[in-house]
Amino acid sequence: MAEELNPFKIAQEQLDEAAKIMNLDETAHKILREPMRVIEANIPVEMDDGHTEVFHGFRVQYNDARGPTKGGIRFHPQENIDTVKALAAWMTWKCSLANIQFGGAKGGVICDPKKMSEKELERLSRGYIRAFGKFLGPKVDVPAPDVYTTPQIMAWMMDEYSKMAGRDEFGVITGKPLEDWGSEGRFNSTAMGGMYILREAARLIKLDVKGATVAIQGFGNAGSFAFDLATKLGAKVVAISDSIGGVYSKSGLNFQELAEAKKKTGSVQGYAGASKISNAELLESDVDVVIPAAIEDQITEKNADKIKAKLVLELANGPVTPQADKILFEKKIMDMPDFLVNSGGVIVSYFEWVQNLYSYYWTIDEVYQRLDKIITASFNSTIRTQNEYKDRGIKITPRDAAYIVSVDRVAKTMKTRGWY
């Protein structure tokens, strides 16, 4: 990975920019530039053929000043410590911006889950908890699903932790199946939160969502739900892609037919009646809204000047680099940052944790109403901060503003707790 696209360097650069603007205390800045704790472990797993494979796993607990750390666990063949550290940092800011009682964490295992059987995945999942369990807990660090991990994997992990604790500990993991006391609304919460931000951002730039054209990069959980929900808001999705490539149709795409094509052929490019395009072409489509919902570093200084959308909605983690952020800002394209847009997932994970602790559960309508209230408040805090700096003659991006809000909260908590 080239250093300029090292995700943790990017996370630090984003923090440094905010710290400079807000005149953050030097000691607080030093504390917040690095994770509080990095844990690595080798996880031996017996494979179906009888041999034992050793997998390398990580857990990064970035900052717990405002509460137990919180963050997903990824199973991915290209997982690396810098990605995990960056995601843990972003989770810290995400939880703070949402003003929920969590700090940030992230975990991962270097493996290829697509080449593993269900039983092998279960043994790996339980092995991860045995390796890291003493660093986890409902009041310590609460994992969740992420790339290539599922509610079923979370259920195995929760069960293994409960066995180690000698009692049921449903609150140690979020993103669990409903049967294991997961939360209503959790599965599509990331996309749902993103749609609330789409509604607010579109209103701010006077874009009518009904009839607006949308291009979505990614057809996984977040991207597919974003497609469905954006359509229900009246928007027209004209482009979609997955890791293989994408399709474009000026008249709009049909969600059900896309899902069936993906299932049948393995790619959305199996969809009939649309032009095949690359992921790069999708991002540069002549549309009102671009939603990067795949992986990091997709809009960079190399292609940011080619973006034509009025609004970029970062549903993925880290899809826009700092250099690209500045270019989009100069082009007057509203780029809503990832740790605001995709915070719906951790907000509803927080709801699940609260429900587990109280053993009292909410309806899906209650979940959505509370999600809307919290994420809209985050949006308003971000825009208000941006406008406050503008009134002082300082032009800052929405990302800078969101960072200032979230970093200020963490720094103030560290200060009152006597950390510096």
Residue 324 identity (one-letter amino acid):
A
CB under 8 A, 24+ apart: contacts of 115-118: 117/48
pLDDT at 274 over 50: yes
DSSP 233-284: TT-EEEEEE-SS-EEE-TT---HHHHHHHHHHHSSGGG-TTSEEE-HHHHHT
Annotated catalytic residue, options 70, 94, 106, 310: 106
* Phi, psi values for residue 337, rounded to 5°: -70, 155
DSSP bridge pairs for 248: 239, 275
Query: Averaged over 194-199, what is the pLDDT?
Result: 95
Taking only the tens place, the pLDDT of each residue in 329-352 is 999 999 999 989 999 999 999 999
Q: What percent of the chain has pLDDT over 90?
A: 82
pLDDT at 3 over 50: no
Taking only the tens place, the pLDDT of each residue in 278-326 is 988 999 999 999 999 987 778 889 999 999 999 999 998 888 988 899 9
pLDDT at 7 over 90: no
106 is catalytic: yes
Q: Note whether 227 and 218 are within 8 A (CB).
A: no
Q: What is the pLDDT of residue 31?
A: 98
pTM of the predicted protein model: 0.91
Q: What is the pLDDT of residue 154?
A: 98
Q: What is the pLDDT of residue 180?
A: 97
SS3 call for 339: helix
Taking only the tens place, the pLDDT of each residue in 367-393 is 999 999 999 999 999 999 999 999 999
What CA–CA distance (Å, rounded) separates 10 from 117?
35
Residue 89 makes CB contacts below 8 A (sequence gap 6+) with: 8, 11, 12, 15, 35, 62, 104
What angle do helix axes 221-232 and 255-265 make, rounded to 10 degrees? 160
Domains of the chain with bracketed CATH: 3-15+37-172 (3.40.50.10860), 189-336 (3.40.50.720)
Question: What number of other Cβ atoms are within 10 A of residue 349's Cβ?
Answer: 29
Query: Averaged over 103-132, what is the pLDDT?
Result: 97
Q: What is the pLDDT of residue 177?
A: 97
Query: Averaged over 222-248, what is the pLDDT?
Result: 91
Give Dmax (Cα) for the chain.
67
Q: What is the pLDDT of residue 322?
A: 84
Query: Averaged over 171-181, what is the pLDDT?
Result: 97
Residue 1 pLDDT grade (very low, low, confident, very high; cuts 50, 70, 90): very low
CA angle 255, 256, 260 (to 5 degrees): 115
Q: What is the pLDDT of residue 317?
A: 82
pLDDT at 4 over 60: no
pLDDT at 2 over 50: no
Site of tokens 């750390």:
69
- Who wins on pLDDT, 259 or 122? 122
Q: What is the pLDDT of residue 106?
A: 97
Query: Averaged over 127-155, what is the pLDDT?
Result: 96
Residue 79 makes CB contacts below 8 A (sequence gap 6+) with: 58, 108, 109, 110, 111
Please give the structure tokens belonging to residue 336. Answer: 């809503």
Nearest to 64 by CA among 136, 122, 120, 134: 136
Nearest to 193 by CA among 348, 401, 410, 1: 348
